[in-house]
Structure 1
Amino acid sequence: MSTVCFFHTGSVLCEPFDELAAEYIPEGDYFHLVDESVIDELLSVGELTPSITRRICTQLSLAEQAGADVVLDTCSSTSPAVDTARQLVDVPIVKIDDPMAERAVELGDRIAVVATAESTLGPSTELVERKAEATGESASVESTLVDEAFEARLDGDTDRHDRLVSERVVGLAEETDVVILAQASMSHLESDLSDRVSVPVLSSPSLAMEAIANRVTE
């Protein structure tokens, strides 16, 4: 079975992906690669600079050198850099939101993308638009930033974070066919929100792990 590398820009994601790996690739080998300075600088400068892109490409190249047969980039904000890294790294690199964007396009024409970090909103929205274009589908993508929730999470107020995101999703669900939770940090809300609204609510981790499981068992 193939070896998987999970590339994170936050160490907080290691434990959740340990749990996902136990569920989706219980017999598989995997390791984590973490560079928190990437997201710190990205949030500081507000955009994915050439310097940050080079660092991400270096980390993904190191993942290959460390023995990974497939890499999952778990940070949606770094998504555009993966397109560059794919030209430099010989092993497959999966963006965490690739499978989610593909599923969203399959489910409806009116898609809402919800993020709490501005660095994620643009890349996630553009990814959905590209997936729709690639399949010939006509999609209307609405981007929504819940920046108050991001601040609440930084302050450690997860209850307020969850309430603000949930309120926004419930409102959007009345006008869309599917809602995307664009960051893994919101994925714990997927189940509850799916019960509260009449349209599909998607988050990236489980769908990404389904894609990884299919690759490593081929």
Structure 2
Amino acid sequence: MLVLLHTSPVHVPVFDALRDERHPGLELRHVVAEELLERARADGPAAVAGEVRARVREAAEEGARAVLCTCSTIGQVAEAAEAGVPVLRVDRPMARAAVAAGPRVAVLAALESTLRPTAALIEEEAARAGRSVRVRTALVEGAWGRFDAGDGSGYVRRVADAADTVTGADVIVLAQASMAPAERLTTTAVPVLSSPRPGLDAAAALTRTGDWRVARRVGGE
């Protein structure tokens, strides 16, 4: 069983659909904890580390083989949770693929709290691969307001429009899993990456094998 830790319920049908398409038979259990993102935005991700660890421990006790954290803001503290089961942040495979695409990486996010963790993750993956990168970040103004208002189409349209204005980049990273539908709306010639598909692929491999090396190969290496 793979447990997915979400901070928004919108992710549940997205990952169920990806599972049905790419990993039929994989047992998923969704845990939605919206308060984790609210607290992390207000007080920093470290403020929720204890609760995240407790959620991971509970997943392990209920038989999870792995946990996939779909929130980029708390991904680092989730991976650091030592509670008896491996944890993968959904954006790590995307970051690995971005590093492979070229040294000029543009990161777009709808939440400011996501920008620094995503940039740090890309730099970490670049160091692991022995490559240099130049990461620049941008907040998509007004996008999160659309998301909060339940205007999903307006949200992804703003993200796609922002991606289409990016220049001087080898790859564009959509920092939040909720931004993924915008990937299909962009017209830019620059490759645009989102996290749900490669993240679930890597987590599924980790669930099957328990081997991080296999998960990393699936995730973009």
Task: Calculate the TM-score normalised by the size of structure 1.
Answer: 0.90
Alpha carbons of structure 1 residues 188 and 122: separation in structure 2 relative to 1, 3 Å: same
**1:52-100 Cα shifts (integer Å, max 9, x gaps):** 1111111111111111001111111101212420xx2222111100100
Aligned partner of 1:35 among 25, 30, 33: 33
What CA distance in whole angstroms lies between the structure 2 residues aligned with 1:156 and 1:84?
32
2:201 maps to what in 1? 210
| 1:198 positional shift | 1.2
Give the secondary structure class of the aligned counterpart of 1:211. Answer: helix
**Aligned residues with identical type, % of pairs:** 33
1: CA distance, partners of 2:71 / 2:105: 21
Once the 2 structures are TM-superposed, how far is the Cα of residue 46 of structure 1 from its aligned partner?
Answer: 4.8
C-alpha root-mean-square deviation of aligned residues, in Å?
A: 1.5
Q: How many residues align?
A: 209
Alpha-carbon contact 1:108-1:178 (below 8 Å) kept:
yes
Q: For 1:159-205, what per-residue CA distance to the aligned partner results, in whole angstroms no more than 9, with x for missing partners?
A: 43233222221111x21000000111110111222xx1112100000
Report the 3-state secondary structure (helix = DSSP H, G, I; strand = E; otherwise coil) of the residue aligned with 1:76.
Answer: coil
Determine whether 1:132 maps to 2:130: no
In the other structure, the counterpart of 1:192 is 185
Structure 1 gap segments, 5+ residues each: none
Aligned to 2:219: none
Aligned to 1:68: 64
Partner-residue secondary structure (3-state), 1:113: strand
Contact 2:79 2:89 in 1 (8 A): no
Q: Specify the SS of the correspondent of 1:156.
A: coil
Letter in 2 for 1:204: S
Contact 1:186 1:203 in 2 (8 A): yes
Question: Which of 142, 148, 159 is matched with 2:142 structurally?
Answer: 148
TM-score of the aligned structures, taking structure 2 as reference length: 0.89
1:211 maps to amino acid: A
